[in-house]
Amino acid sequence: MMKRFMLVWVVILGSAARVLAQDDVVWVQIEAQPTLNSALERARDYSGDLPDVNAFSLGNGWYGIALGPYNRSDADQVLRVYRSEGVIPRDSYIALASSFRQQIWPVGANVLGRGVIEAPVTTEQAPAVIGNVPAPPPADETPAQAQRSERALLRSERETLQTALKWAGVYVGAIDGAFGRGTRNAMAAWQDQKGFDVTGILTTEQRVALLKDYNSVLDDLGLRTVRDEEAGIEMLMPMDVVAFEKYEYPFVHYTSTGDIPAKVLMISQEGDQDTLFGLYDIMQTLDIVPVDGPRERKDTSFILIGEDAMRISETRVSLEDGQIKGFTLVWPAGDEERRRRLITEMETSFSRQPGVIPLGAGSDEQAIDLVAGLKIRTPRLSRSGFFVDSRGTVITTSEAVENCGRITLDGEIDAELTVLNTDKGVAIVRPSVALSPLGIARFSAAQPRLNSEVAASGYSFEGVLGAPTMTFGSLSDVRGLAGEPDVKRLALNTLPGDAGGPVLDDGGGVFGMLLPNPDTGRALPDGVSFALDRETLQAVLAEAGMAGASTNSETPIDPFDLSTAATGMTVLVSCWK
């Protein structure tokens, strides 16, 4: 039995130094992997040949495979013997327990807090230590040695190296795990960039350096495996960027904790295909999912990407065994490289666990503009308009459609702006699909009489009520405040949402369109409103190649019939960013 020396090792960690005594708990770290799946696969492989195999999260998206825990002298023996026998990589080294975070292999184990175990090799197996100087680190591999170590790589590891080479800008081929001429040329180009000998074969150390560069984009995100028992989901999360906020069925909310305005949702619920499709539709109404971006819905899954100038939202959901699970990542625009890497890590590590979020989980917060704690996307403003033909063409106020990224009718039907007359305050929009309106405006052939009864139809509350309301009043003057001949002054209490709606006489004929209240710099008395006359509206329609229908409305009609005709022609016009 060789004599054991009391060795003192100084290990520099960042700027801190720690003196290790012989009996400290240490590990032999043999490998690091950039993904959870590859780490688990390698841990299983090593476990078939070696005892005491464990795997841990290292942080920053990396996972380490280590043997132990041993005391220091036993760990030195394990390292020397296994390395000399070629059963562990030559760049394996002694690691502290503080290097490791959550244990991922064996599944369910947690050995970080226990004491050392007996080493599987004896002192007779280990070569003697000369003095108290540790053995120098091994030299880097020759091309032949590098090629031999390369043969032990899994296909997924080869593909990761190709991906890293592509990220480094030296590889343009397919990610197929085959190291052909294109991959070899890329390796040589990368070696040349980094000042290594140009061989076209990466050594173990060079592969580690390449992957370290590749993963540096994920630094400071704090990638850690999060397992939510309530949702039945385990996945990597950027926990230095977001933190748990709340449960709101079917979501687990993780919200931003710092300068990066990010958000992560875990999605978990029971359901079938109808439920999945319903979730797909609901997600597209949420403010966190911008309108623009690719969408793909299949029988048992969907991918939903929304992007605007400020953010990109990506949702990935699938249905398996009656359970719908997935996640959403909302990330600031302009940080696309890091976002793509992060979404890949999250998707690759995503694992279904038993259980789903129970129906009704979360707070009792209720609001018409919230779904499961998430704000529904709302328009910049909404006004009223009315149909002027059987296809669904709408005339409205120009205020409703100016500077809009998108225009909709009744909240969901896309429409195109065809005429914008800002001088008169009139716009004409056409729906993207032909509609069948309940009513069509018929312009009054008779001149309105002073003090006669009038009615306005409009979405007074900008769509909150889901249907137009009627407001009744009278005609105060056939001219505007400054004597404008094409403006009628009304004694009518209106709200901003009513602007663009039709104004009817008591016979049901449209004699004007309600205008937004003018900005005169003075507060007008209550009940003062204005309408653009029907002659001007018909002239705008004529310029667009249309002719509005007319009617003789001198005979008053029943108020019920008047309301039915007015609300049937009225439509909500919304302007979106």
DSSP string, 209-254: HHHHHHHGGGTTS-EEEEEETTTTEEEEEETTTEEEEEEETTEEEE
How close are the terminal C-alpha atoms of the chain, in Å?
79
Q: Where are the beta strands (DSSP E) in 34-190?
A: 53-59, 62-71, 93-96, 103-105
Does 497 have pLDDT greater than 50? yes
Predicted local confidence at residue 521, as pLDDT: 66
Q: Which CATH superfamily is domain 223-375 in?
A: Mog1/PsbP, alpha/beta/alpha sandwich (3.40.1000.10)
Alpha helix stretches (DSSP H) within 11-154? 36-47, 72-85, 143-151
Mean pLDDT of 327-340: 92
Does 375 have pLDDT greater than 80? no
Q: What is the pLDDT of residues 256-290, one digit of tens each?
A: 998 899 999 999 999 999 999 999 988 988 888 98
Predicted local confidence at residue 3, as pLDDT: 28
Q: Which stretch of DSSP H or E encloses residue 314?
A: strand 311-320
**Lowest-pLDDT choice from 72-76, 121-125, 318-322, 565-569:** 121-125
Would you say the CATH fold of 379-577 matches that of 223-375? no
The residues facing 533 across adjacent strands are: 512
Is cis: bond before 69, omega within 30 of 0?
yes
Q: Which residue has the tokens 């459609």?
A: 401
- SS3 for 2? coil
Q: How far is C-alpha 105 from the geometric centre of its chain's CA atoms?
A: 30
Q: Which residue has the tokens 């290292």?
A: 58
In the chain, the amino acid numbered 67 is L
Predicted local confidence at residue 134, as pLDDT: 40
Alpha carbon distance 264, 388 (integer Å): 46
The residues facing 95 across adjacent strands are: 27
Predicted local confidence at residue 363, as pLDDT: 61
CB 29 within 8 A of CB 95: yes
Does 216 have pLDDT greater than 60? yes
Taking alpha carbons only, the member of 327, 147, 311, 141 closest to residue 232 is 327
More confident residue, 538 or 447: 538
CB 396 within 8 A of CB 385: yes
Q: What is the pLDDT of residues 29-76, one digit of tens each?
A: 999 888 888 888 888 888 888 889 999 888 777 889 999 998 888 888
Taking alpha carbons only, the member of 373, 496, 399, 386 closest to residue 438 is 386
DSSP string, 389-433: STT--EEEEGGGTTT-SEEEETTTEEEEEEEEETTTTEEEEEESS
Q: Which residue has the tokens 């220091």?
A: 72
Alpha carbon distance 305, 518 (integer Å): 41
Does 358 have pLDDT greater than 80? yes
Predicted local confidence at residue 365, as pLDDT: 55
Backbone angles phi, psi at 328, to 5 degrees: -125, 135
Average pLDDT, the chain: 85
Q: What is the pLDDT of residues 399-413, one digit of tens each?
A: 999 989 889 998 889
Does 127 have pLDDT greater than 60? no
Which CATH number does the domain 379-577 belong to among 2.40.10.120, 3.30.450.20, 2.60.40.10, 2.60.120.680?
2.40.10.120
Identify the band that residue 518 occupies on the pLDDT scale cut at 50, 70 and 90: confident
Predicted local confidence at residue 18, as pLDDT: 34
Is cis: bond before 250, omega within 30 of 0?
yes
Report domain 143-218's class.
mainly alpha
CB 473 within 8 A of CB 454: yes
Alpha carbon distance 551, 511 (integer Å): 10
Does 414 have pLDDT greater than 70? yes
Predicted local confidence at residue 305, as pLDDT: 96
Does 117 have pLDDT greater than 90? no
CB 567 within 8 A of CB 459: no
**Lowest-pLDDT choice from 72-81, 339-348, 430-439:** 72-81
Predicted local confidence at residue 367, as pLDDT: 46
Report residue 263 as tokens. 């958000």
Predicted local confidence at residue 145, as pLDDT: 87
Predicted local confidence at residue 195, as pLDDT: 92
Alpha carbon distance 294, 553 (integer Å): 51
- Each domain of the chain, given as residue ranges in start order, spans 9-125, 143-218, 223-375, 379-577
Predicted local confidence at residue 122, as pLDDT: 47
Give percent of the chain with pLDDT exceeding 90.
49
Predicted local confidence at residue 4, as pLDDT: 27
Q: How far is C-alpha 65 from the geometric centre of its chain's CA atoms?
A: 32
Does 16 have pLDDT greater than 60? no
CB neighbour list of residue 177: distance below 8 Å, 6 or more residues apart? 155, 156, 158, 159, 162
Report pTM.
Answer: 0.57
Alpha carbon distance 390, 438 (integer Å): 9
More confident residue, 389 or 553: 389
Angle value at C-alpha 342, between 339 and 344, nearest 5 degrees: 110
Backbone angles phi, psi at 138, to 5 degrees: -65, 150
**Lowest-pLDDT choice from 43-52, 152-161, 317-326, 373-382:** 373-382
